[in-house]
Amino acid sequence: MNNGGWRFTVGSPQFRRTGCQVLFLGLMAFLLTGTVNAQTEPKPAFPTVVLCGKKHNTLYCVRHDKAYWDYDFDGPLKDLESLPGYYLVTGGSGQVSLLKKEWKGCTPLWDWSDFQGLSVESAVVADWDERDRPALILAADSAAPRLFLADARAKDPKVRWEYKLTAAPVRVHLCTDTGNFLVVLKDSTVEEIFFQQDKVVWQLGKADGLDNIRDAVRDPWANTYLADAATGDVLCFGPQKQVNWKTHLPFAPGPFEEMSLSLFRDNHKRMVMAAVHFAGNGKESRNVVYILNAETGKVAAWNDHDDKGGYPAFLKAVPDKADYFKKQ
Sign of the Cα pseudo-torsion (250, 252, 256, 259, in order): negative
Q: How many CA atoms lie within 13 A of 294 on its CB side?
A: 23
Are the C-beta atoms of residues 44 and 269 closer than 8 Å to each other? no
**CA 97, chain centre distance (Å):** 21
Of the listed ranges 10-19, 59-68, 87-96, 194-203, the least confidently predicted one is: 10-19
Alpha-carbon distance values, 69 to 97, 149, 284 (Å): 18, 31, 24
Are the C-beta atoms of residues 109 and 98 closer than 8 Å to each other? yes
Bridge-based pairing state of the strands 305-306 and 309-310: antiparallel
The sheet with strand 269-278 has its strands ordered as 256-266, 269-278, 287-293, 299-303
Per-residue pLDDT band for 251 (boundaries 50, 70, 90) equals confident
Q: What is the mean pLDDT of residues 143-151?
A: 97
Q: What is the rounded CA–CA span in Å between residue 45 and residue 108? A: 30
For residue 118, the model assigns a pLDDT of 94
Beta bridge partners of 246: 235
For residue 325, the model assigns a pLDDT of 45
Alpha-carbon distance values, 284 to 214, 277, 280 (Å): 23, 12, 9
For residue 167, the model assigns a pLDDT of 97
Q: What is the mean pLDDT of residues 30-35?
A: 43
Q: What is the rounded CA–CA span in Å between residue 227 and residue 147? A: 21
Q: What is the rounded CA–CA span in Å between residue 318 and residue 51? A: 7
Q: What is the rounded CA–CA span in Å between residue 117 and residue 100? A: 26
For residue 182, the model assigns a pLDDT of 98
Reported as a single tens digit per residue, the pLDDT across 190-231 is 999 999 999 999 999 999 999 999 999 999 999 999 999 999
- The angle at the Cα of 206, spanning 319 to 121, to the nearest 5 degrees, equals 45
Are the C-beta atoms of residues 316 and 78 closer than 8 Å to each other? no
Per-residue pLDDT band for 162 (boundaries 50, 70, 90) equals very high
Q: What is the mean pLDDT of residues 239-262?
A: 94
Nearest to 181 by CA among 189, 190, 268: 190
**Res 250 pLDDT > 80:** yes
Per-residue pLDDT band for 252 (boundaries 50, 70, 90) equals confident
Longest dimension (CA), the chain: 107
**Cis peptide before 145, with omega less than 30 degrees from 0?**
yes
Per-residue pLDDT band for 268 (boundaries 50, 70, 90) equals confident
267 versus 124: which is more confidently predicted?
124
Report the percent of the chain where pLDDT is more than 90.
Answer: 75
Alpha-carbon distance values, 182 to 34, 191, 265 (Å): 46, 6, 21
Reported as a single tens digit per residue, the pLDDT across 5-32 is 444 344 545 444 455 454 444 544 444 4
Coil, strand or helix: which one is 208?
helix
Q: What is the rounded CA–CA span in Å between residue 98 and residue 88? A: 5
For residue 253, the model assigns a pLDDT of 85
Helix (H) or strand (E) holding 55: none
Q: What is the mean pLDDT of residues 110-134?
A: 95
**Res 98 pLDDT > 90:** yes
Per-residue pLDDT band for 266 (boundaries 50, 70, 90) equals confident
For residue 238, the model assigns a pLDDT of 97
Q: What is the rounded CA–CA span in Å between residue 264 and residue 259? A: 17
For residue 168, the model assigns a pLDDT of 98
For residue 34, the model assigns a pLDDT of 44
Alpha-carbon distance values, 291 to 43, 166, 304, 316 (Å): 13, 33, 12, 14
Per-residue pLDDT band for 54 (boundaries 50, 70, 90) equals very high
Q: What is the rounded CA–CA span in Å between residue 61 and residue 89? A: 14
Q: What is the mean pLDDT of residues 64-79?
A: 95
Coil, strand or helix: which one is 308?
coil
Nearest to 57 by CA among 321, 309, 315: 315
**CA 11, chain centre distance (Å):** 63
Per-residue pLDDT band for 284 (boundaries 50, 70, 90) equals low
Per-residue pLDDT band for 37 (boundaries 50, 70, 90) equals very low
**Res 33 pLDDT > 50:** no
